[in-house]
Amino acid sequence: MIRIAVDGMGGDYAPQVVVEGAVQAANDFSDLEIILVGQSDTLKRELNKHKVLGGKIVIEDAPEVVGMGDSPVAALRKKKNSSLAVCVDLVKRKEAHAVMSAGNTGAAVAAATLNLGLLPGIKRAGIAISAPTLRGITIAMDVGANLNPTSYELFQYAQMASIYAQEIFKKKNPSVGLLNIGEEESKGTEVLKEAYKILRDSPLNFIGNIEGRDFFTGKADCIICDGFVGNVVLKMCESVLETAVEIFTRELKKNPVTMLGAWLCKPALSAIQQETNYEEAGGAPLLGVNGTMIISHGISSARAIRNAIRVAGDMVANQVNQRIVEQAALCGPAAAGAKAEGKQA
Amino acid sequence: MIRIAVDGMGGDYAPQVVVEGAVQAANDFSDLEIILVGQSDTLKRELNKHKVLGGKIVIEDAPEVVGMGDSPVAALRKKKNSSLAVCVDLVKRKEAHAVMSAGNTGAAVAAATLNLGLLPGIKRAGIAISAPTLRGITIAMDVGANLNPTSYELFQYAQMASIYAQEIFKKKNPSVGLLNIGEEESKGTEVLKEAYKILRDSPLNFIGNIEGRDFFTGKADCIICDGFVGNVVLKMCESVLETAVEIFTRELKKNPVTMLGAWLCKPALSAIQQETNYEEAGGAPLLGVNGTMIISHGISSARAIRNAIRVAGDMVANQVNQRIVEQAALCGPAAAGAKAEGKQA
């Protein structure tokens, strides 16, 4: 049985929606047990609204709550009994295999990095998101944990993203692209030029630099970038569909013929919305920490929470962290060119 | 009469399409005279295919051509008689008021910066693009000239983008947003935190940090960012419509009802394509150089070239550079906080 600690108080619609998603996960996935962490009275009241098959949810009390706007460092220092801190602690004490939170992302990254530490050989943790493209799922890493990675950290992100793509999305020999402002090796910052060399000489399936225009086309299975540009791009992607729908709706409403046309097109639009639905991906792992942490979007629905819990379980079942430690050892600083290690941006 | 030097050999479809666009501009805009620069035999042959009203195009010979893949520095050093170099030289010698090129962007930036120099008080040049959003045109700057701007350079980009938005797009008191990974003042790199403070204390209409999701919504009239993230985002925007059309087409073709629906929607789709057509913007100025340079997309059509030449003329007619020099003097390092000047990333 895989035990997942769920941050019951984290997220814009917590605890209601988080509890609902946790119940769905408990009922749908026979190999998972849920530890719902938060203010126990509140969580009990929410849990009583649902039917849990086979008693696979337990509640762990945590009186404090980290707000979405709290400073990550202050939240860690001042709220030692927050639902997030208790979740991470359960993983540290091996009472849970993984933690899932839809709360404050910065606080989740800080709590996991500081309390769990990093996997042996890994220099920095990063967030890997999975996004739908024209040719299936693409992994982008990092999308916000590390704003100024070194070239060696970027290389390790490529290693970790490749393993994630293999183990969770069953991609064989996943291709890796380095996000840059041009395809030539000579493009971009010094950090990117150095990362290009390390990646080129590594055993990874490196296909070279890719550009912003390659994001939606699925040119690479894994897109490697710093956390700043990754975060900007991720938030752009999230708003693209919404904006497109707003523009189309405005134009289509201008006359009855196009309105009829739009009505006839509805099944196709629903199919696209289903295909590009963030809910199915559910959550993004913080890769590199010594433990499994899945971070979900603050606006997550119950369905998204359920799927994020599923991803947490898949990470544990597929031993993603063990694979990362093996690869980091096999292809560490020595193999990747010791020169590169520790180089600063 | 405003004289525009046009790089006849620059662009994926040069010289044919560039000459066609130059002819359109000469015929459509009574205040412009075009100096078509490049291999004169080739340009004459192309020009003979068109009818120019009133003899407003002259040819200036330049035997060499900068290729789209040439290294900018090598192109500058080795091809002193390239069409690009001669164009810039015409501006330097005051024989032309502005230059327009759809060729190698890096070479254009290098040629203008090194041969024309910067405007008094300006620290670095940057490229400002105008993009259609849900609420009209937004200016984004920089999109590729300066990958590691200091906080003071970002502030000057905000000054220059505001003037461009006012003078060319007739926006009153344009709003300025700083592209970041969160809205709070404490977010992002040290350079961005410092830029936030300078902007907040400046006379500009600064609305704070904006995020990736605000890009398409037109939340700010001017979006300020470093050239790396600006370039990635610009290229993503360019591919969004294409990708959306591909996804829609694939889904709509799956059954006859949605195909009929799509056919009925066509007028609305055409209207959207027209609204978001990059051809109408035409070109992006390299702001901050001591002269007017408009850079166009390599794949520019004749219509886009015509409009880029129009923007070049508008820049000169509206004295955008004079306005920039005035503002830089009024709100220089002293006014903006001398502490910020020269700070490195």
Clarify whether residues B95 and B215 are in a common domain. no
A185 and A196 in contact (C-beta within 8 Å)?
yes
Domain boundary among A116, A145, A176: A116
Q: Which residue has the higher pLDDT, A252 or B152?
A: B152
Q: Which residue has the higher pLDDT, A299 or B198?
A: B198
Least confident of A22-31, A142-151, A180-189, B115-124: A180-189
Residues 6+ apart with CB under 8 A from A110: A72, A73, A75, A76
Q: Which residue has the higher pLDDT, B131 or B82?
A: B82
Going by the DSSP 8-state scheme, the letter that residue B235 receives in this structure is H
Full-model pTM: 0.88
Least confident of A17-31, A224-238, A257-271, B109-123: A257-271
Residue A8's CATH number: 3.40.718.10
Type of residue found at B238: E
Clarify whether residues A5 and A20 are in a common domain. yes
H or E element at residue B54: none
Evaluate if residue A23 carries a pLDDT over 60.
yes
Clarify whether residues A177 and A240 are in a common domain. yes
**Residues counted in chain B:** 345
* pLDDT band (50, 70, 90) for residue A278: low
Whose tokens are 């460092």? That residue is: A73
Q: How many domains does chain B have?
A: 2
pLDDT number for residue B17:
96
pLDDT tens, residue by residue, B189-245: 999 999 999 999 999 999 999 999 888 888 999 999 999 999 999 888 877 777 777
Type of residue found at A188: G
Least confident of A133-147, A245-259, A330-344, B206-220: A330-344
Q: Which residue has the higher pLDDT, A244 or B231?
A: B231
pLDDT number for residue B344:
40
Residue A123 C-alpha from the chain's centroid: 18
Q: Do A217 and B238 touch (CB under 8 A)?
A: no
Residue of B nearest to A231 (CA): B181
Clarify whether residues A93 and A199 are in a common domain. no
- Continuous H helices in chain A: 16-28, 40-47, 72-78, 83-92, 105-116, 151-169, 190-200, 227-252, 256-275, 278-281, 302-317, 320-330, 333-336
Which residues in chain A are contacts of B255 at CB distance < 8 A? 267
Which residues in chain A are contacts of B252 at CB distance < 8 A? 265, 268
A317 located within any domain: no
B211 and B181 in contact (C-beta within 8 Å)?
yes
Closest CB from B134, B181, B263 relative to A144: B181
Evaluate if residue B271 carries a pLDDT over 80.
no
Packing angle between helix B151-169 and helix B190-200, nearest 10 degrees? Answer: 50
Residues 6+ apart with CB under 8 A from A309: A4, A6, A21, A22, A25, A29, A32, A34, A100, A282, A283, A294
pLDDT number for residue B170:
94
Evaluate if residue A215 carries a pLDDT over 90.
no
Q: Do B232 and A246 touch (CB under 8 A)?
A: no
* pLDDT band (50, 70, 90) for residue B317: very high
Closest CB from B188, B258, B268 relative to A264: B258
Burial class of residue A40 in the structure, from the number of CB atoms within 10 Å of its CB (0-12 exposed, 13-18 middle, 19+ buried): middle
Distance CA A230, CA A145 (A): 10
Range of the domain at A5: 1-116
B39 and B9 in contact (C-beta within 8 Å)?
yes
Mutation pick from A71, A223, A236 vs chain B, by most beta carbons of B within 10 Å, is A236
Least confident of A222-231, A265-274, B253-262, B318-327: A265-274
High-pLDDT (> 70) share of chain A, %: 94
Evaluate if residue B79 carries a pLDDT over 80.
yes
pLDDT number for residue A254:
81
Q: Which has the closest alpha carbon to A229: B187, B181, B177?
A: B181
pLDDT number for residue A263:
83
Strand partners, B4: B34, B98
Q: Do B267 and A258 touch (CB under 8 A)?
A: yes
* pLDDT band (50, 70, 90) for residue A337: low
Going by the DSSP 8-state scheme, the letter that residue A145 receives in this structure is S
Which residues in chain B are contacts of A246 at CB distance < 8 A? 134
Locate B50 and state its tokens: 């068109």
Least confident of A9-18, A148-157, B149-158, B251-260: B251-260
Least confident of A154-168, A231-245, B94-108, B166-180: A231-245
pLDDT tens, residue by residue, A86-136: 999 999 999 999 999 999 999 999 999 999 999 999 999 999 999 888 788
Mutation pick from B214, B225, B232 vs chain A, by most beta carbons of A within 10 Å, is B232
Which residues in chain B are contacts of A247 at CB distance < 8 A? 134, 272, 275
pLDDT number for residue B337:
53
Which residues in chain B are contacts of A188 at CB distance < 8 A? 147, 228
* pLDDT band (50, 70, 90) for residue B340: very low
pLDDT number for residue B71:
85
Clarify whether residues B49 and B128 are in a common domain. no
B57 located within any domain: yes
A295 and B292 in contact (C-beta within 8 Å)?
no
Clarify whether residues B28 and B90 are in a common domain. yes
Clarify whether residues A212 and A327 are in a common domain. yes
pLDDT number for residue A110:
94
Which residues in chain B are contacts of A264 at CB distance < 8 A? 257-258, 260-262, 264
Q: Do A271 and B251 touch (CB under 8 A)?
A: yes
Q: Do B216 and A236 touch (CB under 8 A)?
A: yes
Q: Do A246 and B134 touch (CB under 8 A)?
A: yes
B303 located within any domain: no
Residue of A nearest to B238 (CA): A213
Clarify whether residues B84 and B146 are in a common domain. no
Closest CB from B229, B254, B257 relative to A229: B229
pLDDT number for residue B122:
96
High-pLDDT (> 70) share of chain B, %: 94
Least confident of B12-26, B129-143, B217-231: B129-143
Clarify whether residues A177 and A249 are in a common domain. yes
Type of residue found at B304: A
ipTM value, please give it: 0.85
Residue of A nearest to B185 (CA): A71
A36 located within any domain: yes
Distance CA B167, CA B174 (A): 11
Mean pLDDT score of chain A, rounded to an integer? 90
Distance CA B174, CA B157 (A): 13
Evaluate if residue A343 carries a pLDDT over 50.
no
Clarify whether residues A64 and A83 are in a common domain. yes
Evaluate if residue B28 carries a pLDDT over 60.
yes
Summarize the confidence of residues A42-51 as an average pLDDT. 95
High-pLDDT (> 90) share of chain A, %: 68
Evaluate if residue A291 carries a pLDDT over 80.
yes
- Continuous H helices in B117-226: 151-169, 190-200
Q: Do B264 and A268 touch (CB under 8 A)?
A: no
B344 located within any domain: yes
Least confident of A230-234, B214-218, B334-338: B334-338
Mutation pick from A213, A224, A242, A257 vs chain B, by most beta carbons of B within 10 Å, is A213
A170 located within any domain: yes
Q: Do B248 and A255 touch (CB under 8 A)?
A: no
* pLDDT band (50, 70, 90) for residue A335: low
Ordered DSSP codes for B69-118 = TS-HHHHHHH-TTBHHHHHHHHHHTTS-SEEEE-S-HHHHHHHHHHHH-B
Evaluate if residue B96 carries a pLDDT over 90.
yes
A296 located within any domain: no
Which residues in chain B are contacts of A186 at CB distance < 8 A? 71
Q: Do A239 and B213 touch (CB under 8 A)?
A: yes
Domain boundary among B116, B134, B162: B116
A131 and A115 in contact (C-beta within 8 Å)?
no
Clarify whether residues B85 and B152 are in a common domain. no
H or E element at residue A33: strand A32-38
Distance CA B36, CA B6 (A): 5
Domain boundary among B116, B134, B155: B116
Clarify whether residues A266 and A240 are in a common domain. yes
Q: Which residue has the higher pLDDT, A252 or B79?
A: B79
pLDDT number for residue B335:
57
A90 located within any domain: yes
Mean pLDDT score of chain B, rounded to an integer? 90
* pLDDT band (50, 70, 90) for residue A336: low
Q: Do B240 and A240 touch (CB under 8 A)?
A: yes
